[in-house]
Amino acid sequence: MQDATHIVVGSGSAGAALAYRLSEDPANKVLVLEAGGSDIGPFIQMPAALSYPMNMSRYDWGYRSEPEPHLGGRRLATPRGRVIGGSSSINGMVYVRGHARDFDTWEEMGARGWSYADVAPYFQRMETSHGGEAGVRGTSGPLHVTRGTKWNPLYAAFVEAGRQAGYEATPDYNGLKQEGFGDMEMTVWRGRRWSTANAYLRPALKRPNIHLFTGVTVTRVLFEGTRATGVEYRQGGRIERVSASAEVILAASSINSPKILMLSGIGDGAALSALGLPVLANRPGVGANLQDHLELYIQQACLQPITLYKHWNLISKAMIGAQWLFTGTGLGASNHFEACAFIRSRAGIEYPDIQYHFLPFAVRYDGKAAAEGHGFQAHVGPMRSKSRGRVALTSPDPMADPSILFNYMSHPEDWEDFRAAIRLTREIFGQEAFAPYRGREIQPGAEVQSDTELDDFIREHAESAYHPCGTCRMGAPDDSLAVVDPQGRVIGVEGLRVADSSIFPQITNGNLNAPSIMAGEKIADHIMGREPLPRSNKEPWIHPDWRTAQR
């Protein structure tokens, strides 16, 4: 089989960016291995159809969590992209860099060189921002980041309600001021989903030194001694091997990257031995530290027939689809998350710990209408849960699904934070700006008020926001629970790196697509021995009264 200098496992948010940068050097011969197939088709490319691809087995690994002990034993869907572009091809297209303090915290946790000052230039390099803060946002990167048309008056009502409730407004939450209410940004360009397959992979594949194999499932990394020399994969019924003369880089997701490491003998030694797997490097942090964002939908009936509900029929959907297909415009060209907010749940918290996605429709993420009739909703949830879960092997068989346990809501503070989020949302929806539109509260419902009633609602209705990360945590080389060093190198072996959301020491404030791409961009420079981009000297905005005021 064809040999390469670099093998990249996974063509998703980080993997596609990594492949694009590595192949800039004609001396590199880059091979990208992707378990899924093509992303051609309207369900992926049309932004408004976002609920379809994440529920299609053709594009999704179809993972589910173990019964979650603190959520009444519910098993939650854990979609991960199994298609070129990975999860950037099936996500909600929401673009959030994260708060500056997130990355400063990473550095404090041992990820030297990943502070805000270090990562800001990589965000800038990867973006072409349309309407973002000048001098902070990128203007010539592969990734187009746009804003919606705000066709619906409810978007403006949400932002105005935040102002009326005493919160800040922000012109660009991806600029220096995340805190506040404002326009939400999306990875949509010219009416199409701007996945990393479109932004990075397709342009890279025009180069002669990069090749993409689809439909291949990597089963393990191959080693000579402790040096990675290639990978083994399955394609159809065949087992193939391919070698890498320089490095193997796993960018296979926070679920599959630790799975491949464990199958390759890197992980908790006792657990691997119990499955009959040889232990190459005893790294108990592999698969540990699993984090995610949970969210609730706070839903309100709308008194005016202006929401997306009027298009929730086959004729209207067909007309929207046709307009999008022929012109790339109209309601099909938006993910409809066009307004948002980042707020602090209480005084004494330095930077936002609650995120809002606002939607002019009362519907579930899987596309099932939750209420008959017009409504609107805010997706809300705490950003920095203290709960931690894990990914584990269930079998030495590489085709067996891993065991995923998020351990959601296992920390008592999570319940306090969620109750605060619900009550703060009700206060926002209760402002004058919503008076012309506000009907009854659909969910949780006006009768759900006490802590106990709210806890019951949370237990029954909290959903994953699909932001798993942290399972191959980056840290100092002498940290026994770190899996990779600050250059993404797997500790204890050579020639092997991880570059995806699994390396995040702590989950960031918001959706994970942007920081995952940034990780791919930054680790590409480490692999190529380039000088890091010059550090930013910009200071992020922190609420001057954060110690004493919630807003």
Show binding-site residues for FAD: 83, 91-94, 218
Instruction: Say whether 307 sits in a helix, a strand or coil.
Output: coil
Residues forming beta bridges with residue 403, ordered by sequence position: 392
Interacting residues of 318 by C-beta distance below 8 A, sequence separation 6+: none
Q: Is 336 a catalytic residue?
A: no
CA separation, residue 331 to residues 69, 102, 190, 192, 540 (Å): 40, 34, 13, 12, 34
Q: Which of 144, 336, 467, 543 is catalytic?
A: 467
- 3-state SS, 194-217, equals CCHHHHHHHHHCCCCCEEEEECCE
* Contact indicator for 111, 475 with CB cutoff of 8 Å: yes
The CA distance from 29 to 19, in Å, is: 10
The CA distance from 207 to 209, in Å, is: 6
* Contact indicator for 539, 531 with CB cutoff of 8 Å: no
Token pair listed for 175: 């600029």
Q: What is the dihedral of CA 415, 419, 422, 423, to 10 degrees?
A: -170
The CA distance from 14 to 1, in Å, is: 25
Radius of gyration of the chain (CA): 23
The CA distance from 461 to 129, in Å, is: 35
Instruction: Say whether 180 sits in a helix, a strand or coil.
Output: strand
The CA distance from 47 to 186, in Å, is: 9
* Contact indicator for 492, 454 with CB cutoff of 8 Å: no
Which amino acid, one-letter code, is at 94? V
* Catalytic sites, residue numbers: 467
